[in-house]
Amino acid sequence: MKAKKYIIVIFILAFFSQSCEEYLKEELVSNVSAASYYTTVSGFEDAVKATYSELKPFFGPERGFTMTVFGTDTYTNGADGGHKAINRYDGGLNPSQGFVRDTWRDFYRGINQANAVLNRAEGLDMDEALKNARLAEVRFLRGLYYFILTQTYGDIHISLEETEGVEITANKTSSSEIYSQAIIPDLEFAVANLPEDQDDYGRATKPAAEFLLGKVLLTRSHKGFADGSDASRAEALFSNVINNYGFELLDDFSALWDIDNEENSEVVFTVQNSKSQVDENLDGNGHRGHLYFLFEYDVRPGMTRDITNGRPWKRFMPTPFTLGLWDRDVDSRYDKSYKHAWISNNASTIPTWTQEEASAGHVDAGLVGQPKFSVGDTAVFIPGPGKDAEWDADAQAKARYMVITNDEYTEKLFPSMNKWIDPTRPDRQKTQGQRDFVLMRLGEAYLLRAEARLQQGNTSGAAEDINVIRLRSAWEGMEGASSITAADVDIDFILDERARELIGEGHRWWDLVRTGKLIERVKLHNPIAAPNIQDFHIVRPIPQDQIDRTQGGYPQNAGYPGAGG
């Protein structure tokens, strides 16, 4: 079937706008036609680089975190932010919601950019092997963009042709057809034609394509519209990634979040961000995760906002379920993902001991009027899950610093995830961070292979894979206690393990949708979302822009305003 073209105007050269890093730098090209420039070798190379650019507005900025973290079992509303409807599943999650609109728009832009590269490459006079490798990069990206769109919106528009100008017609094609017509063929081509590694770090590679194809097939195996071989194919692809390319798990889980160790042996594919913090215009997006998962530390006694502790936007608060996931006596991942102590950096707000505290026996009377601590001492401490027992009211009152326990958590006061802190920012107000956004890493490959094995009834193999991850994160001497058996493995255990390993890494909403667990687990574990979530929320609404600009309208997803009865 010849696909009808996407509706919104696409200006091809608009994608040559922002740097992804030295090797993926798009140059602004003006006063040339796309038709002529794309058919030159330099124009073709620039067009390939530009196809990566639509990853950046989603993976790193607030939109992508909101669309994947909110509305799940692991995170709920913090105090601030204007997109809470995505977590609440109320009337604000509608066809006009900004993040829903922009996600659709940008990934279709990426698809059209890919189509332009693919359609114009025929007859290009350049080394055929190199050209095929570049086309494989573009098809990898087109497959990824379609995969994201189908996971997010369900049945959607498909076009494998370039759009030039305005189109007023669009189709709504089933996810199963998009998998078979676009996503899987694109990724199979990428697997066959991409190199195992690239001189330019950040370009797509064969193992990245195998990883993504494995995840696609695993997702389709849950949907049940294939021939039954998807899970076994996915397992084989993840085994290739794990065994055949020299990837290795880092010995220390916390080393994954060391900003000086980004190009490590566990990374399979990342979205690149600029490493220069000098020019504000160099990278308009950047990794902004350092903003969203932090509690309001900066107005606590003895504290002020600084680069080291981050700029606390208070977007995402962990659910009680999340905070109960780790056995902290056995598993190090909570302690290596969350921050516990904040060190005083503001002498002007350090509190003093009061007469009332002396009268209550909390401090010697001779210390009344004296500062409770000094700059460089602990000012705030969050013991975290399982460690509150020693901090009863009397112990808190006697503490020199502020102690925040579980019963005191609010939308402003909660355990802060520390994975994305970026101390390289030039000042405390800068929102763009330089971290790369890791889309694929070896730790997840083990968990995805475990899921593929479970799909085939191989719980022993699934347990083996999960134990690889758990043993890496066990405290010394607790390796035996961290191990599980085949009897422990079901899809809920795998989802819990994915949360322990991948918390905040931009997978969760899609994980729950893929496994058919979104509604159940949100109702169980997200108290703000639970009253409103309904069965139709397994997809987001089709944006109103798409409906308005399509001749005769465009079908809305069931349950949302404008859907047919």
**Averaged pLDDT for residues 363-379:** 97
**What is the predicted pLDDT for the residue at 293?**
98
Residue 356 lies in a domain: yes
**What is the predicted pLDDT for the residue at 5?**
33
Looking at the predicted structure, is the pLDDT value of residue 1 above 60? Answer: no
**What is the predicted pLDDT for the residue at 39?**
79
**What is the predicted pLDDT for the residue at 122?**
86
More confident residue, 21 or 313: 313
pLDDT in tens, 435-445: 999 999 999 99
**Averaged pLDDT for residues 34-53:** 87
Looking at the predicted structure, is the pLDDT value of residue 11 above 80? Answer: no
Indicate the pLDDT class of residue 228, thresholds 50, 70 and 90. Answer: confident
Predicted TM-score of the model (pTM): 0.93
Indicate the pLDDT class of residue 13, thresholds 50, 70 and 90. Answer: very low
**What is the predicted pLDDT for the residue at 305?**
97
pLDDT in tens, 303-347: 999 999 999 999 999 999 999 999 999 999 999 999 999 999 999
Looking at the predicted structure, is the pLDDT value of residue 281 above 90? Answer: no
Q: Which of 20-29, 92-101, 250-259, 545-554 has the lowest mean pLDDT?
A: 20-29
Q: Which of 22-36, 80-94, 175-189, 420-434 has the lowest mean pLDDT?
A: 22-36
CATH number at residue 539: 1.25.40.890
Residue 122 lies in a domain: yes
pLDDT in tens, 401-416: 999 999 999 999 999 9
Residue 190 lies in a domain: no
Print burial letters for 503-518: b (CB count within 10 Å at least 16), e (below 16). bbbbbbbbbbbbbebb
Looking at the predicted structure, is the pLDDT value of residue 430 above 60? Answer: yes
Please give the mean pLDDT across all residues of the chain.
92
Residue 477 lies in a domain: no
Regarding whether 32 and 157 lie in a shared domain, the answer is: yes
- Number of domains within the chain: 2
Residue 456 lies in a domain: no
Looking at the predicted structure, is the pLDDT value of residue 564 above 80? Answer: no
Distance in angstroms (rounded) separating the CA atoms of residues 45 and 432: 27
Percent of the chain, pLDDT > 70? 92
**Averaged pLDDT for residues 214-221:** 98
**What is the predicted pLDDT for the residue at 19?**
35
365, 393, 417 - which closes a domain: 417
Provide the residue count of the chain: 565
Regarding whether 11 and 129 lie in a shared domain, the answer is: yes
Residue 302 lies in a domain: yes
Q: Which of 224-228, 256-260, 312-316 has the lowest mean pLDDT?
A: 224-228
More confident residue, 282 or 480: 480
Distance in angstroms (rounded) separating the CA atoms of residues 393 and 380: 16
More confident residue, 259 or 21: 259
Looking at the predicted structure, is the pLDDT value of residue 221 above 70? Answer: yes
H runs (alpha helix) in 370-517: 393-398, 442-455, 459-473, 479-482, 491-502, 508-514
**What is the predicted pLDDT for the residue at 325?**
98
At position 27, the amino acid (one-letter code) is: E
**Averaged pLDDT for residues 41-56:** 95
Looking at the predicted structure, is the pLDDT value of residue 185 above 60? Answer: yes
Residue 455 lies in a domain: no
At position 438, the amino acid (one-letter code) is: V
**What is the predicted pLDDT for the residue at 277?**
52
Residue with tokens 């950096």: 345
**What is the predicted pLDDT for the residue at 35?**
61
Look at strands 402-403 and 378-381 and give their pairing: parallel
More confident residue, 125 or 440: 440
Nearest to 464 by CA among 484, 445, 493, 478: 484
How many alpha carbons fall within 13 Å on the CB side of residue 551? 8
Residue with tokens 């975290």: 384
Question: What is the torsion angle, in degrees rounded to the nearest 10, for the CA atoms of residue 67, residue 69, residue 71 and residue 77?
Answer: -110
Regarding whether 530 and 411 lie in a shared domain, the answer is: no
Looking at the predicted structure, is the pLDDT value of residue 29 above 90? Answer: no
Token pair for residue 126? 């350049």
More confident residue, 462 or 167: 462
Looking at the predicted structure, is the pLDDT value of residue 24 above 70? Answer: no
Looking at the predicted structure, is the pLDDT value of residue 262 above 90? Answer: yes
Looking at the predicted structure, is the pLDDT value of residue 134 above 90? Answer: yes
**Averaged pLDDT for residues 452-472:** 98
**What is the predicted pLDDT for the residue at 458?**
98
**What is the predicted pLDDT for the residue at 163?**
85
**Could you list the residue range(s) of the whole structural domain that residue 358 is in?**
291-417
Token pair for residue 12? 């091809």
- Listed in sequence order, the residues at least 6 apart from 328 whose beta carbon sits closer than 8 Å to its beta carbon are 334, 335, 384, 385, 386, 387
User: Which contacts (CB < 8 Å, 24+ apart) does range 120-124 have?
Assistant: 120/34, 120/35, 120/38, 120/39, 120/44, 120/47, 120/162, 121/44, 123/39, 124/39, 124/41, 124/44
Looking at the predicted structure, is the pLDDT value of residue 17 above 70? Answer: no
Regarding whether 533 and 409 lie in a shared domain, the answer is: no
More confident residue, 186 or 163: 186
**What is the predicted pLDDT for the residue at 409?**
98
385, 417, 449 - which closes a domain: 417
Token pair for residue 194? 């991409």
Regarding whether 303 and 156 lie in a shared domain, the answer is: no
417, 437, 464 - which closes a domain: 417
pLDDT in tens, 497-529: 999 999 999 999 999 999 999 999 999 999 999
More confident residue, 34 or 429: 429
**What is the predicted pLDDT for the residue at 224?**
83
Looking at the predicted structure, is the pLDDT value of residue 283 above 80? Answer: no
Residue 111 lies in a domain: yes
Regarding whether 540 and 409 lie in a shared domain, the answer is: no
Distance in angstroms (rounded) separating the CA atoms of residues 294 and 414: 8
**Averaged pLDDT for residues 414-443:** 95
